[in-house]
Chains A and B, each alone.
Chain A
Amino acid sequence: MKIVWAIAITNYKEIIRERLLYGILVIAALFTAVSFFLATVSLDQNARVMQNTGVAAIHFMTLFICVFVATNSVHRDFERRALYFLFPKPISRTQYIFGKYLGFVLLTLTTLAILGGLFSVGAAFLSPSILPAVGVNLLFSFLEISLLLAVALLFASFTAPLNAALYTLALFVIGNGQSTIKNFVDKLDNNALTYITNGVYYLLPNLEKFNLREATLYDVRVPLAAIAWALFYWLVFTSLSLYLASRVMHKQEL
């Protein structure tokens, strides 16, 4: 664990000391701040609009930042020969993958804390009642983004950084629209399409499990079983992605 943590902290320091990240975070904070403006121009729905747009902005911005940073970071390790520094030492490639992932998780937490913190300060003045719901949403945002980062790490272990980022974002889009696609195909009554859709439904991550935005917006109580299932789903999918990434890494020649 000491070795995994050392790799994680090194990875985190390398990312967090990049000046470009601060520029991107400022832009992300401005996007998030737009939710306050939208809330003021909405009719009697200020709190809901602020909550919905604010949480969504934080979620998308954190996702974009973390996925692009993560895929580039793995590429840099190859390009700058950091792997030549690491692998002749008594560490395994599995420890490397877990260390990198843990570093990305720390980055996600930092980004969510900065954007979520700034938003919460604004919300505390304008509409403090939404704060508990914002907290729950950010927690599930963290789960979804951290799952996608494991997938991004898998892609980055064998393909170019831009490709890895785009594949991950494609999975994000598909993963958030799986039920819609499945319902649509079910109505078409086409057996072949139904089989394919069912295959995709079970193979690719279903990220709708982590989307509580609607539920918290309308005060719908989410069953505890659904939350437990989401956590279990996160654990299985993240572990599987990291395992596959470490297998790919074991086969990589440097």
Chain B
Amino acid sequence: MSKKTDAPLVVTNLKKSFGKVKAVRDISFSVDAGEVLGIVGPNGAGKSTTIKMILGLLEPTSGSVELFGKKISDASVRTRIGYMPETPSFYNHLSGYELLQVAGTLFSLSKAEVKRRSADLVEMVGLSDSAHRPLREYSKGMLQRICLAQALINQPDIIFLDEPMDGLDPIGRIRMKETLLEIRSKGTAVVFNSHILSDVAAISDRIAIMDHGTLLKLDTVTNLIPKGKTLEEVFIKTVEAA
């Protein structure tokens, strides 16, 4: 794979072992500006581990990750990324607005800017009426949405979403899909993983299929899914053949 130093994300020969367990085995891929990459795979495939290594939450056993040509340890890179973890709960006693205020302050945004962006974001994720309530009173879907909002407070160039559809009801899923498409329309690159394959096929430009820490397939949606087939069928065939 040729290295694109200006690409938002370049992952090269990434490996991660936990003792004798090889969680991620030598994977390489890149993400272009404004591209949506969906990662699918069964439980334990290494999807979340890969995202955590990209974000510096886990140290790779070997291999490298570059975001905009720099390492994640460079704080300037982290001003350009957003992250929404799986099933967040964070600070239960803060309100939605307070969480966004903290997030904005951590990006050194001015108070006025944080206020303006917070108002826009809670509107975008449909939480305008409940942003003053403490997070402990939020449903799982509301937590997912406020968590997405905090990941967007810095207007990132690339955003990572770990299971953004997890636990959402059908309306919540539709809203999340619409929000992701809106993010993409603004030119932000999106990397996300999900078990809900129909959503992945609907949102992504390219899809990566992982199993047992290996990247089995990575291609555009049109190349990966033949006409008349679904991602479910391609996914099962790929994983069973591996």
A26 nearest CB across to chain B (Å):
19
Interface residues of B (CB under 8 A from A): 52, 55-59, 75-76, 78-79, 81-83, 85, 87-94, 98, 102-103, 105-108, 134, 147, 150, 154, 160
Residues of B within 8 A of A86 (CB): 106
| Beta-carbon contact of B103 and A85 below 8 Å | yes
Residue-wise, chain A 60-94 has the 8 Å CB interface mask toward B (1 for contact) of: 00000000000000000000111111111111100
| Beta-carbon contact of A85 and B93 below 8 Å | no
| Beta-carbon contact of B90 and A82 below 8 Å | yes
Q: A2-B105, A3-B106, A254-B58 are in contact. Are A89 and B94 (CB under 8 A)?
A: no
Is A45 among interface residues, defined by CB-CB distance under 8 A?
Answer: no
Residues of B within 8 A of A92 (CB): 75
Is A10 among interface residues, defined by CB-CB distance under 8 A?
Answer: yes
B93 interface neighbour in A17, A87, A91, A254, Cβ under 8 Å: A17
Interface residues of A (CB under 8 A from B): 2-3, 6-7, 10, 13-14, 17-18, 80-92, 253-254
Nearest residue in A to B147 (C-beta to C-beta)? A85
Provide 16 A-B residue pairs closer than 8 Å at the C-beta atoms, listed in order of the A residue. A3-B108, A10-B102, A14-B91, A14-B94, A80-B89, A81-B85, A81-B87, A81-B90, A84-B88, A85-B85, A85-B150, A87-B55, A87-B57, A89-B106, A90-B108, A91-B75
Nearest residue in B to A10 (C-beta to C-beta)? B102
Q: Which 3 A-B pairs have the closest CB atoms?
A: A17-B93, A84-B85, A88-B83
CA distance A92 to B75 in the complex (A): 8
A22 nearest CB across to chain B (Å):
13
Residues of B within 8 A of A2 (CB): 105, 108
Residues of A within 8 A of B55 (CB): 87-88
| Beta-carbon contact of B57 and A254 below 8 Å | yes
B90 interface neighbour in A18, A80, A91, Cβ under 8 Å: A80
| Beta-carbon contact of A6 and B106 below 8 Å | yes
B76 nearest CB across to chain A (Å):
7
Q: A13-B94, A253-B57, A253-B59 are in contact. Are A91 and B83 (CB under 8 A)?
A: no
CA distance A87 to B92 in the complex (A): 18
Further 11 A-B residue pairs, CB within 8 A, beyond A86-B106, A89-B106, A89-B107: A6-B102, A6-B105, A10-B102, A13-B91, A13-B93, A80-B89, A81-B85, A84-B85, A85-B88, A88-B57, A88-B78
| Beta-carbon contact of B85 and A90 below 8 Å | no
CA distance A4 to B103 in the complex (A): 13
Residues of A within 8 A of B107 (CB): 89-90
B93 nearest CB across to chain A (Å):
4
Residues of A within 8 A of B160 (CB): 88
Which of A2, A10, A83, A86: most chain B Cβ within 10 A? Answer: A10
Residues of A within 8 A of B98 (CB): 13
CA distance A36 to B82 in the complex (A): 56
| Beta-carbon contact of A14 and B92 below 8 Å | yes
Nearest residue in B to A5 (C-beta to C-beta)? B105
Nearest residue in A to B74 (C-beta to C-beta)? A90
A80 interface neighbour in B59, B92, B102, Cβ under 8 Å: B92
Q: A82-B90, A84-B83, A84-B88 are in contact. Are A90 and B106 (CB under 8 A)?
A: yes
Residues of B within 8 A of A10 (CB): 91, 94, 102
CA distance A80 to B85 in the complex (A): 11
Residues of B within 8 A of A82 (CB): 90-91
Residues of A within 8 A of B147 (CB): 85
